[in-house]
Structure 1
């Protein structure tokens, strides 16, 4: 049987290698972005992987499988056929799978512990980090944009840094764990997996988490959108989903929901069927969370603080993995200096309760979470309070929320400054400079605005208020200190590990 793996840039090498180990498959690889290094090609060829190009698509037949990432629109390359049985009509093949579905196919019998998968536009890494704290007594295997780690009796072992969060990284994380346990003098049991995954879930999860769809950006060359791609999370056994996103894009996926229906038709997908999931059936397995809406998990009596926010969790008719219904209320204190941080906490509470985690474990785990260096963290710099929002996936919505957070802490006696900048090419999605400039132009005139690095150099040309430009982050912080700012918000597009090396 032929199996064509499309896109070697976003995890296809791992998937192709895995399929070579399954008898009966003849594996082909299409390096559609031409990024693969020659030594990696040689390694795959040694495993009998055959590299092909667009011309190979003519040779697909009813005995072929095609595996492509959800952001790759193969409809641009493969002619429709009446004999096609694939879910999206991409061609004459017996089976079409996304990379996410392929990982489910490869790993379902290998991973034998509960799984949590986290996807969304913003807040994924923070959500994973809080879940790690809650479940650390179970020796979790954790995959996030910060790397792959496993906890052993509370002690973290970093198995790999600088890893992507493509679905194929789930395979890599599990194999890194297996290798680590084989080398360990005192092997231990991993009790849960917590995976951050881009553009949806694999279907392996007992609870899939959709943090939000705050920006429904386009994928697949503009022929698809984030909300559709991330709908793969609903292949999970249960789902914890942001209330607003659920109601805007996924609930009642028929004519009853014009916004959803319009999105599906625009992207050439039959309403009601999305990524092989009958979306009208998802309500029974979805719990929602929200700050202000009538969700299954919401917050009340909120008292925001820089280092600790105290609030009441209200739980209403939450469905658990064991088919129980939960109604309760309890107080939580956690690091959440702004509403969008609290929203991430609610996603974590919703997830943990869905797994029937004791409330005392949830409260203890959240109490121990102090933020992630860069996203979001608060530190002192020569007597100045510095709030860092350093994120490779920085987008306009994140800038808005960070600036709004600053406005809640500023006062006339303690001046504030915003440092904005960063790098290009950190992720596949670039930032909308005009939209960012609109946000920064509306800053309080009393707030100093300091641009830095390549991104700052471009955006400053769109600004019609006073600003300063500095070449480095250190220079920008020194300038803010010199001008007397008591609070400095750093909004910077980069990997935090790169910033640490400055």
Structure 2
């Protein structure tokens, strides 16, 4: 698409619209930004007008004055400008589509491979694990809800914190990376509700549980299919076998489609192992590794020796938000392998709980897992990241090293201690009421197994705009159904004050909620933190 001398109206400056209008204006277009929700500060709008020449409005403008209307997939289709644009048969692009067009016109990205990850669950975990795996031979930039990170040799450094995972934030992430003087071999982008069509490899983690968007006129699963429908020719799509509508949409000759399945998706779909290219099995014990030669280095992507690696750039904070508790994963490395060997035994020093990774019925690697996190919460991430890493040329030894050194991500079912009290940390931007239920189930099992006494639950939201917030009515239902299983419930967020029940108190923020929880908890209790928040 020609992005020059067009008249654009970009709707919604709150959710990633600002970097889009800036990029379009810089490309020589006449751009108007519509603050649909009226949440952008007046000084920000004034800066857009005076510094960038972008006309801003808090009210709808006549659609007839524009060549192209750009709107997020979650915007109510009844918004006046969209109604007019459809009636006038104007071109309407999603934020994902326009970001894709902007990226295609960015010559700085030439030669850099891109991975995009979308889905309902496991996006951050799968992206982070894949970054660690790829970093064993490549330089990687990872953009997730945890921050913008540079990865090399299993070590992460923080580039920038504070970006969302809206498609528009990708534009900011790219600028921050080049401003830092970095030129990675791979970009990995976690993206909400879809893809931009520029990825060399796209990963769809899950489509369930589905939910309504655009004032409940559409399903999020349909919007996420942008990853499939916009996929560029010659790219690879790695899709959860349980995402049936995505597999149906991916029936095309222009892309390579691979499927994966974890034990949980198998329980949901009832699909046999033989229908998935990659399958994760869980259980105790481990077995030997056998590597099919065709999986070691796909011919259409560069190998580790084909790309040069420079030393770590200066000015980055080492291991600022690293994947592990330590800055480097531990486990088996290729240097410990006998020459010519094709089998690798998992380390016997780790937990006896293990996973087996199958490729079309043949076991290709297995690994033992460390304790300290809820393993079931990472099954989708393990299989998706491992399959992607194999497809992108990473040897199984490196994948095993990452998995066996993994200790969970902060805020994603990680076990910690707080003032000597056991803490299960499940507070993150993707937390929803189903996640809270699963976390409570896990805490109840832990209480039984470790003979703990009570559970102090911290539940709620720090900001209602974080991925559409945590609806108070769902929290009310949760409290009515599960409240008696908890010694005390501390609800976080202004909207939670409408929720009623026994043994309930309120807090304004996650830190305040945790502080109150530590006051209620005794040494034999468990604190469970399930708050929707940016971290």
Which of 233, 239, 242 aligns to 1:241? It is 239
5+ residue gaps, structure 1: 182-187, 253-277, 318-326, 497-502
Name 1:7's counterpart in structure 2. Answer: 12
SS for the counterpart of 1:481 is coil
SS for the counterpart of 1:9 is coil
Name 1:494's counterpart in structure 2. Answer: 533
Residues of 1 paired with 2:189 and 2:352: CA distance? 27
Q: Does 1:332 align with 2:367?
A: yes
Residues of 2 paired with 1:194 and 1:118: CA distance? 8
Name 2:518's counterpart in structure 1. Answer: 477
Distance 1:6 1:437, change over 3 A: closer
8 Å contact from structure 2 (residues 118, 193) kept in 1 = yes
Name 1:396's counterpart in structure 2. Answer: 433
Name 2:339's counterpart in structure 1. Answer: none
Query: How far apart are 1:477 and its partner, in Å?
Result: 2.4
Once the two structures are superposed, residues 1-46 of structure 1 have per-residue CA deviations (whole angstroms, 9 ceiling, x without a partner) of 31222211112111111112224x2222222222233333233223
Q: Does 1:191 align with 2:185?
A: yes
Matches within 5 A, 1:268-279: 279=250
Distance 1:364 1:32, change over 3 A: same
Name 1:22's counterpart in structure 2. Answer: 27
8 Å contact from structure 1 (residues 208, 238) kept in 2 = yes
Residues of 2 paired with 1:434 and 1:35: CA distance? 24
8 Å contact from structure 1 (residues 214, 397) kept in 2 = no
Which of 344, 347, 371 aligns to 2:408? It is 371
Query: How far apart are 1:200 and its partner, in Å?
Result: 0.8
Query: How far apart are 1:438 and its partner, in Å?
Result: 4.1
Residues of 2 paired with 1:438 and 1:453: CA distance? 16
SS for the counterpart of 2:61 is helix
Name 2:126's counterpart in structure 1. Answer: 127
Distance 1:345 1:437, change over 3 A: farther
SS for the counterpart of 1:214 is coil
Residues of 1 paired with 2:202 and 2:39: CA distance? 31
Query: How far apart are 1:180 and its partner, in Å?
Result: 0.7
Query: How far apart are 1:232 and its partner, in Å?
Result: 1.1
Once the two structures are superposed, residues 465-496 of structure 1 have per-residue CA deviations (whole angstroms, 9 ceiling, x without a partner) of x53536531221232225x32x4322223334
Residues of 1 paired with 2:139 and 2:122: CA distance? 23
8 Å contact from structure 1 (residues 120, 211) kept in 2 = yes
Name 2:261's counterpart in structure 1. Answer: 289
Name 2:396's counterpart in structure 1. Answer: 359
Query: How far apart are 1:177 and its partner, in Å?
Result: 1.0
Query: How far apart are 1:334 and its partner, in Å?
Result: 3.6
Query: How far apart are 1:189 and its partner, in Å?
Result: 4.1
Q: Does 1:107 align with 2:107?
A: no
Once the two structures are superposed, residues 43-99 of structure 1 have per-residue CA deviations (whole angstroms, 9 ceiling, x without a partner) of 322322223542321334xxx122111112445425779xx8xxxx56432x32211
Distance 1:416 1:302, change over 3 A: farther
After TM superposition, the score normalised by the length of structure 2 is 0.74
Aligned length: 438
Which of 308, 315, 333 aligns to 2:359? It is 315
Distance 1:307 1:391, change over 3 A: farther
8 Å contact from structure 1 (residues 243, 288) kept in 2 = yes
Residues of 2 paired with 1:92 and 1:204: CA distance? 26
Query: How far apart are 1:230 and its partner, in Å?
Result: 0.8
Distance 1:16 1:470, change over 3 A: closer
8 Å contact from structure 2 (residues 281, 355) kept in 1 = yes
5+ residue gaps, structure 2: 1-5, 286-349, 508-512
Query: How far apart are 1:456 and its partner, in Å?
Result: 9.4
Distance 1:441 1:354, change over 3 A: farther
Name 1:430's counterpart in structure 2. Answer: 469
Query: How far apart are 1:406 and its partner, in Å?
Result: 2.1
Distance 1:361 1:451, change over 3 A: same
Q: Does 1:414 align with 2:395?
A: no
Residues of 2 paired with 1:180 and 1:404: CA distance? 44
After TM superposition, the score normalised by the length of structure 1 is 0.78
8 Å contact from structure 1 (residues 399, 436) kept in 2 = no
8 Å contact from structure 1 (residues 415, 446) kept in 2 = no
Matches within 5 A, 1:135-174: 135-137=134-136, 138-152=138-152, 154-174=154-174
SS for the counterpart of 1:168 is helix
Name 1:500's counterpart in structure 2. Answer: none
Name 1:255's counterpart in structure 2. Answer: none
Distance 1:224 1:287, change over 3 A: same
Once the two structures are superposed, residues 129-184 of structure 1 have per-residue CA deviations (whole angstroms, 9 ceiling, x without a partner) of 21221122322111111221223555533222111111111111111111110xxx
Larger RCO, structure (CA 8 Å, separation 6 or more): 2
